[in-house]
């Protein structure tokens, strides 16, 4: 139950939902959304020292105080968990006249457009608070204007998910109207359209970024003049009836609000086309899904392709006007094309402001003797940052959707570098709220378009297990036990006469990984599904994953004092593992479906990996053999970057020699990405669609847990295993976050004929050490340890 003060805030916010009159939640034009500006002006004789407002909107808002953008939100939610924000706006107020503006974008409830932007059946804005003597509640004193100038077209080839790109035309200003309160009555347990909760994650952080390298220029103005303008060192005057084009490069891949300001001494018109791209590329194989990319900064041989904003603006004489797209843009490159009308125009300023979740990195990595590893660490951090705004996003350029299969491993990376669990708690809670009648979570959530991927419900269970191991919040964890049981019940109902998972309905995607040979066909249009089991609807991967997750959940239930189902989960896992060994193992390798339907294309690295993870009955030698064999032969379908994380876990289980041998070559694709000019990690090397996908930050986990050797072995980092792999690095210093309030520093360097290994903690912690070639040793509760090896 919410505390009384929070509940009072929620009640008051619910009473102040408003919208414009005569609204039609659709459009005869090709647009997924429309904008409405809500403004409130007031006068203060003295600037207040505090002015706390609470507010939310459906679908998304930007809050401006006296022209300054101060907040963007609300954080991603849905009808049963809709977040409101709280902000003290005093720093942006002034003596005298003040203006508040909420610019609200409403994605239509009946549109598939704007997939990551969940919405209810009702558009709305709510705001409460006081500024001095002024009551700022949205139900009174506000004015609203519908912005008819901007459209968000659907059906674009390269904007399938987001629908954030704008087509802007000058139109006559519409008359302001007074917003109409909804006055919802929700007695007797009836729920309002938005079930409000306070924001549970911090507001995004903003940082000015450099976007001033010019790769190509067609303009009567000089390159030096354009560079000064882009760097904020001066304006640039463009003559009438002229056209200009330039390719601008950001220092690094960015997620940023871009803003352009213009002025003219006479009434003028300017047309812009702003094209955003993650890098130069070769001719696509099939745009936008299958790409061919090499050096991302090769402007001579590469193409700049991407979605664009197309804008026509009137510039009134003597005024400065500003254009900023509603939502942030993702880019490394930006093609700026401008056409000046019959009067000259001055380009006054250009600003780019990076926005992202405040990552607050505590971890660090310094390694002597490796030209790549520190760059790999930095690029991994940047990739995480660019894929985190108000949730874990799969890729900021194309989707901005939160998938549980992606965010499971990404959450672990986040934990190790920051010790922050707030974004993961929000994700876990949201996925739990997405449960479908058959017991599965939705695979991406929140999302305006629903989707179920069978395996992703199991990855959500792993998220719950991970969170408890890293933070030890048993009360939080226990609340999800019934839903975990529901997920398992779905899979248990799909155990066939062979003892394997099969027969899942065709509207549930049985995706495993992006593999070239697992492409769509006329008979089986779903991509990323192993071909071997398509006809029989029986995939070894799903049986293996279910067996693996059952084991993890069995351990979790014992830890949180819910042993009732623990033994049952363990027994289910054992039965599955025996059935897999009997029907899906040909004596040498595991097949993608049962052995009787296997052919040359029925073997994948994935099934060997998950056979080891699930502990299917094999000897230690056989586990090493199937891993080395499958990763050393071309005939096996290949794990992409997301699955390399699980492959490394399997190699670690197989033994130190197996892991360390694999480690020395597994990051070659990451090195190639650096050589090709990437500053974030690409989605995969099969489709090469996105150049920023956080599942590629796998090195963070390996550096912290396997090389530095820090792993939790009791919930909440009450106790850790310290097993450094000193043979993988000549000299090293690493910092690893241990939950919210502890930090480990691991270092080693050569002293004489030995290496000195030091382990230090911010707070004392119980340690079990295992040095190379030695047995485990209980070290007790310590703040520091030193070893000579």
Examine residue 576 and state whether it is found in any structural domain, yes or no. yes
What pLDDT score does 175 carry? 93
CATH number of the CATH domain containing 385: 1.50.10.10
Q: Which of 311, 330, 356 is the last residue of a domain?
A: 356
Is the pLDDT confidence value at 567 over 70? yes
Structure token digits, residue 657? 């020699």
Same domain, 593 and 730: no
Q: How many Å apart are CA 332 and CA 253, to the nearest integer?
A: 4
Closest CA to 387 of 13, 703, 8, 690: 690
Structure token digits, residue 509? 């995607």
* CB contact at 8 A, 226 and 236: yes
* CB contact at 8 A, 458 and 546: yes
Q: What are the tens digits of pLDDT across the range 687-699?
A: 999 999 999 999 9
Structure token digits, residue 579? 């059935």
Examine residue 524 and state whether it is found in any structural domain, yes or no. yes
Mean pLDDT for the stretch of residues 242-248: 98
Same domain, 159 and 225: no
Same domain, 347 and 442: no
Examine residue 482 and state whether it is found in any structural domain, yes or no. yes
User: What is the chain's mean pLDDT, rounded?
Assistant: 97
The residue segments making up the domain with residue 679 are 364-706
Q: How many Å apart are CA 111 and CA 161, to the nearest integer?
A: 11
To the nearest 10°, report the CA torsion of 126, 128, 131, 134: 90
Same domain, 571 and 667: yes
Q: What are the tens digits of pLDDT across the range 693-720?
A: 999 999 999 999 999 999 999 999 999 9
Categorize the per-residue pLDDT at 71 as very low, low, confident or very high, splitting at 50, 70 and 90.
Answer: very high
* Neighbouring C-alpha atoms within 13 Å toward the C-beta of 659: 22
Same domain, 379 and 459: yes
Same domain, 348 and 290: yes
What pLDDT score does 173 carry? 80
Examine residue 488 and state whether it is found in any structural domain, yes or no. yes
Q: DSSP character for 232? A: T
Is the pLDDT confidence value at 262 over 70? yes
- Number of C-beta neighbours around residue 202 at 10 A: 14
Is the pLDDT confidence value at 487 over 80? yes
**Residue 127: burial class (beta carbons within 10 Å; 0-12, 13-18, 19+):** buried
Mean pLDDT for the stretch of residues 172-183: 93
Residues with Cβ within 8 Å of residue 506, at least 6 apart in sequence: none
- Number of C-beta neighbours around residue 679 at 10 A: 24
Which pairs count as long-range contacts for 651-654, CB under 8 Å and 24+ apart, including other chains?
651/627, 652/706, 653/612, 653/613, 653/623, 654/612, 654/620, 654/623, 654/624, 654/627
To the nearest 10°, report the CA torsion of 712, 714, 718, 721: -40
Q: What are the tens digits of pLDDT across the range 630-663?
A: 999 999 999 999 999 999 999 999 999 999 999 9
Same domain, 190 and 264: no
What pLDDT score does 564 carry? 86
Is the pLDDT confidence value at 129 over 70? yes
Q: DSSP character for 133? A: T
Examine residue 715 and state whether it is found in any structural domain, yes or no. no
Categorize the per-residue pLDDT at 1 as very low, low, confident or very high, splitting at 50, 70 and 90.
Answer: low
* Neighbouring C-alpha atoms within 13 Å toward the C-beta of 25: 15
Same domain, 191 and 233: no
Mean pLDDT for the stretch of residues 149-178: 95
Q: What are the tens digits of pLDDT across the range 75-121?
A: 999 999 999 999 999 999 999 999 999 999 999 999 999 999 999 99
Is the pLDDT confidence value at 590 over 70? yes
CATH number of the CATH domain containing 275: 2.60.120.260
Categorize the per-residue pLDDT at 140 as very low, low, confident or very high, splitting at 50, 70 and 90.
Answer: very high
Tokens 């997924």 belong to 32
Examine residue 435 and state whether it is found in any structural domain, yes or no. yes
Categorize the per-residue pLDDT at 436 as very low, low, confident or very high, splitting at 50, 70 and 90.
Answer: very high
Same domain, 577 and 676: yes
Examine residue 259 and state whether it is found in any structural domain, yes or no. yes
Residues with Cβ within 8 Å of residue 203, at least 6 apart in sequence: 71, 73, 85, 87, 358
Is the pLDDT confidence value at 3 over 90? no
Mean pLDDT for the stretch of residues 474-493: 98
What pLDDT score does 410 carry? 98
* CB contact at 8 A, 569 and 557: yes
What pLDDT score does 186 carry? 78
Q: How many Å apart are CA 400 and CA 414, to the nearest integer?
A: 17
What pLDDT score does 203 carry? 97
Same domain, 312 and 392: no
Examine residue 672 and state whether it is found in any structural domain, yes or no. yes
User: What sign results for the dihedral spanned by CA atoms 598, 604, 610, 616?
Assistant: positive
Same domain, 778 and 647: no
Q: How many domains does the chain have?
A: 4
* CB contact at 8 A, 106 and 45: no
- Number of C-beta neighbours around residue 143 at 10 A: 15
Same domain, 12 and 154: yes
In percent, the amount of the chain with pLDDT more than 70 equals: 100
From residue 427, how far is each of 59, 115, 167, 769 by CA, in Å? 19, 17, 33, 34
- pTM value is 0.97
What pLDDT score does 184 carry? 87
82-88 vs 345-356, strand pairing mode: unpaired
Categorize the per-residue pLDDT at 185 as very low, low, confident or very high, splitting at 50, 70 and 90.
Answer: confident
Categorize the per-residue pLDDT at 537 as very low, low, confident or very high, splitting at 50, 70 and 90.
Answer: very high
Q: How many Å apart are CA 11 and CA 7, to the nearest integer?
A: 6
Q: Which of 319, 339, 356 is the last residue of a domain?
A: 356
Q: Which of 309, 334, 356 is the last residue of a domain?
A: 356
Tokens 């690094």 belong to 252
* CB contact at 8 A, 540 and 592: yes
How many DSSP H helices and E strands does the chain contain?
Answer: 16, 30
Mean pLDDT for the stretch of residues 563-584: 96
């Amino acid at each position: 139950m919410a505390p009384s003060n929070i509940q009072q805030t929620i009640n008051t916010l619910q009473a102040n939902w408003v919208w414009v009159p005569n609204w039609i939640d659709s459009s005869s034009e090709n647009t997924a959304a429309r904008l409405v500006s809500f403004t409130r002006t007031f006068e203060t004789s003295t600037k207040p020292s505090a002015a706390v407002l609470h507010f939310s909107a459906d679908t998304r808002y930007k809050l401006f105080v006296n022209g300054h953008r101060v907040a963007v939100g609300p954080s991603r939610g849905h009808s049963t968990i809709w977040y409101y924000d709280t902000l003290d706006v005093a720093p942006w107020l002034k003596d005298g006249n003040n203006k508040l503006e909420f610019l609200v974008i409403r994605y239509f409830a009946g549109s598939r457009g704007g997939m990551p932007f969940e919405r209810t059946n009702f558009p709305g804005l709510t705001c409460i608070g006081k500024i001095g003597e002024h009551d700022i509640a949205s139900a009174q004193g506000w004015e609203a204007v519908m912005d008819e100038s901007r459209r968000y077209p659907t059906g674009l080839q390269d904007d399938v998910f987001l629908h954030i790109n704008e087509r802007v035309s000058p139109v006559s200003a519409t008359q302001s109207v007074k917003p109409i309160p909804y006055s919802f009555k929700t007695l007797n347990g009836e729920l309002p359209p938005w079930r409000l909760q306070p924001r549970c994650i911090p507001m995004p952080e903003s940082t000015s970024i450099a976007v001033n390298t010019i790769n190509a220029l067609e303009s009567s103005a000089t390159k030096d003049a354009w560079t000064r303008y882009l760097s904020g060192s001066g304006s640039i005057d463009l003559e009438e009836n002229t056209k200009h084009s330039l390719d601008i490069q950001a220092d690094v891949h960015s997620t940023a609000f871009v803003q352009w300001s213009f002025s003219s001494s006479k009434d003028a018109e300017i047309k812009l086309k702003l094209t955003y791209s993650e890098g130069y590329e070769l001719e696509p194989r099939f745009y936008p899904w299958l790409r061919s990319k090499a050096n991302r900064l090769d402007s001579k041989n590469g193409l700049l392709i991407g979605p664009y904003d197309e804008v026509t603006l009137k510039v009134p004489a003597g005024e400065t006007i500003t254009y900023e797209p509603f939502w942030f843009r993702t880019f490394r490159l930006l093609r700026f094309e401008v056409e000046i009308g019959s009067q000259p125009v001055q380009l006054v300023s250009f600003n780019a402001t990076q926005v992202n979740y405040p990552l607050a990195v505590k971890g660090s990595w310094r390694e002597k003797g490796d030209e790549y590893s520190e760059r790999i660490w930095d690029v991994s951090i940047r990739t995480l940052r660019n894929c985190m705004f108000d949730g874990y996003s799969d890729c900021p350029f194309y989707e901005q959707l939160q998938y549980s299969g992606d965010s499971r491993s990404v959450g672990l990376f986040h934990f190790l570098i920051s010790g922050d669990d707030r974004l993961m708690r929000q994700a876990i809670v949201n996925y739990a709220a997405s449960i479908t009648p058959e017991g599965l979570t939705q695979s991406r959530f929140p999302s305006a378009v629903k989707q179920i991927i069978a395996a992703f419900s199991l990855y959500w269970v792993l998220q719950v297990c991970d969170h408890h191991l890293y933070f030890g919040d048993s009360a939080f964890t226990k609340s999800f036990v019934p839903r975990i049981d529901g997920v398992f019940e779905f899979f248990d109902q799909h155990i066939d006469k062979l003892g394997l998972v099969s027969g899942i309905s065709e509207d549930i995607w049985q995706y495993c990984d992006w593999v070239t040979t697992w492409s769509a066909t006329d008979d089986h249009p779903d991509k990323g599904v192993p071909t071997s089991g398509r006809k029989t609807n029986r995939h070894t991967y799903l049986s293996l994953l279910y067996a693996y997750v059952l084991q993890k959940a069995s351990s979790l239930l014992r830890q949180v004092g819910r042993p009732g189902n623990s033994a049952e989960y363990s027994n289910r896992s054992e039965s599955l593992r025996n059935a897999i060994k009997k029907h899906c193992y040909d004596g040498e390798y595991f097949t993608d479906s049962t052995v009787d339907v296997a052919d040359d294309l029925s073997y994948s690295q994935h099934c060997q990996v998950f056979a080891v993870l699930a502990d299917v009955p094999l000897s230690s030698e056989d586990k090493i053999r199937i891993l080395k064999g499958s990763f050393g032969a071309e005939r096996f379908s290949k794990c992409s970057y997301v699955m390399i994380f699980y492959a490394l876990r399997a190699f670690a289980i197989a033994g130190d020699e197996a892991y360390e041998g694999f480690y020395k070559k597994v990051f070659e694709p990451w090195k190639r990405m650096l050589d090709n000019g990437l500053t974030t990690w690409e989605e995969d090397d099969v489709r090469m669609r996105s150049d920023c996908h956080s599942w590629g930050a796998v090195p963070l986990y390996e550096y912290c847990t396997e090389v530095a050797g820090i792993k939790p072995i009791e919930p909440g980092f009450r106790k850790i295993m310290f097993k450094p792999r000193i043979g993988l690095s000549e000299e090293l210093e690493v910092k690893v976050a241990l939950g919210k309030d502890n930090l480990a520093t691991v270092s080693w360097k050569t002293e004489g004929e030995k290496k000195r290994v030091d382990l230090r903690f911010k707070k004392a912690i119980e340690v079990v050490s295992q040095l190379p070639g030695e047995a485990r040793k209980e070290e007790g509760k310590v703040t520091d340890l030193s070893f000579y090896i």
